[in-house]
């Protein structure tokens, strides 16, 4: 018997797909995927982000509750593909918005959630070039972004913090059974001072000028 491949779920530009559940096929499109109705777990076979797919993840605790798709405090988009969970890497056209449902966070805090793969291999390279934005609930009166009817602050503006994005191997006890997979990991770090950024750019410029002078010197000697 020939089994037909599962159909692709595609969300159009300006549309959103949220809630919990499982689709056995890939997901794609130019819309936004938001697991849960608040926070929750959404499962798909794989992801094709090439049309500018966007994502919104809520984070309310250190780690997701993998065993409860409807009451996990951290959103999870689980990709079950056994070979290529990401059809291609996310890029600048893919927005990933993180909403921390917390009054405050501290330097060095770590959270897991968002993208999860059933493979234990590091998928950092598939997400690191996306356009990440970080927001925090605070007192709920922020004006940087309104999400689900609540006002959020910019994490960098309110606390001078941003996040490093990586992945961590973990055993996730889903309701359907435990999986040795890998999950996106967020660690709070300080926002680089403007002077640090300028110094870094100047160093790059100096290196470039030095290399150019060396090339010019070699050119004159060989002329």
Chain segment 165-203, per-residue pLDDT in tens: 999 999 999 999 999 999 999 999 999 887 544 444 444
Same domain, 102 and 210: no
For all residues of the chain together, what is the average pLDDT? 88
Q: How many domains does the chain have?
A: 2
Quick check: 206 pLDDT over 60? no
Could you give the CA distance from residue 212 to residue 214 in angstroms, rounded to a whole number? 5
Task: Find how far residue 26's CA is from the centre of its chain.
Answer: 18
Same domain, 146 and 214: no
Same domain, 128 and 143: yes
Same domain, 93 and 112: yes
Same domain, 76 and 146: yes
Same domain, 133 and 216: no
Q: What is the pLDDT of residue 37?
A: 84
Same domain, 38 and 66: yes
| In the block, residue with structure tokens 């065993």 | 67
Report, as an integer, the average pLDDT of 198-214.
Answer: 45
Q: What is the pLDDT of residue 216?
A: 45
Q: Residue 201 is part of which domain span?
A: 193-223
Q: How far is CA 12 from CA 21, 30, 102, 115, in A?
A: 19, 5, 31, 21
* Strand order through the sheet with 95-100: 16-19, 32-35, 54-59, 95-100, 131-136, 150-154, 145-147
- Residue 3: inside a domain, yes or no? no
Same domain, 18 and 46: yes
Question: Can you give the pTM of this predicted structure?
Answer: 0.85
Q: What is the pLDDT of residue 5?
A: 57
Same domain, 173 and 198: no
Q: Give residue-wise pLDDT tens across range 65-101.
A: 999 999 899 999 999 998 899 999 999 999 999 999 9
Same domain, 54 and 76: yes
Spatial neighbors of 104 by CB under 8 A, at least 6 apart, are: 136, 138, 159
Number of C-beta neighbours around residue 100 at 10 A: 24
Could you give the CA distance from residue 13 to residue 25 in angstroms, rounded to a whole number? 20
Could you give the CA distance from residue 93 to residue 54 in angstroms, rounded to a whole number? 8
């Amino acid at each position: 018997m020939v089994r037909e491949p599962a159909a692709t779920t595609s969300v159009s530009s300006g549309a959103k797909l949220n809630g919990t559940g499982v689709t056995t096929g890939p997901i794609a499109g130019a819309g936004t995927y938001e697991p849960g109705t608040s926070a929750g777990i959404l499962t798909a076979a794989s992801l094709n982000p090439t049309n500018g797919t966007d994502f919104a993840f809520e984070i309310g605790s250190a780690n997701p509750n993998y065993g409860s798709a409807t009451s996990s405090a951290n959103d999870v988009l689980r990709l079950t593909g056994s070979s290529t969970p990401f059809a291609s890497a996310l890029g600048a056209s893919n927005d990933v918005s993180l909403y921390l449902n917390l009054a405050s966070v501290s330097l060095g805090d770590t959270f897991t959630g968002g993208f999860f793969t059933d493979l234990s291999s590091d998928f950092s390279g598939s997400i690191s070039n996306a356009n990440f934005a970080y927001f925090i609930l605070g007192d709920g009166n922020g004006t940087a972004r309104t999400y689900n009817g609540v006002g959020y602050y910019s994490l960098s503006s309110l606390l001078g913090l941003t996040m490093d994005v990586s992945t961590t191997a973990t055993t996730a006890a889903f309701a359907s059974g435990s999986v040795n997979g890998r999950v996106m990991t967020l660690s709070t770090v300080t926002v680089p001072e403007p002077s640090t950024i300028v110094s870094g750019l100047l160093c790059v410029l100096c290196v470039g000028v030095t290399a150019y002078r060396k090339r010019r010197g070699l050119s004159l000697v060989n002329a």
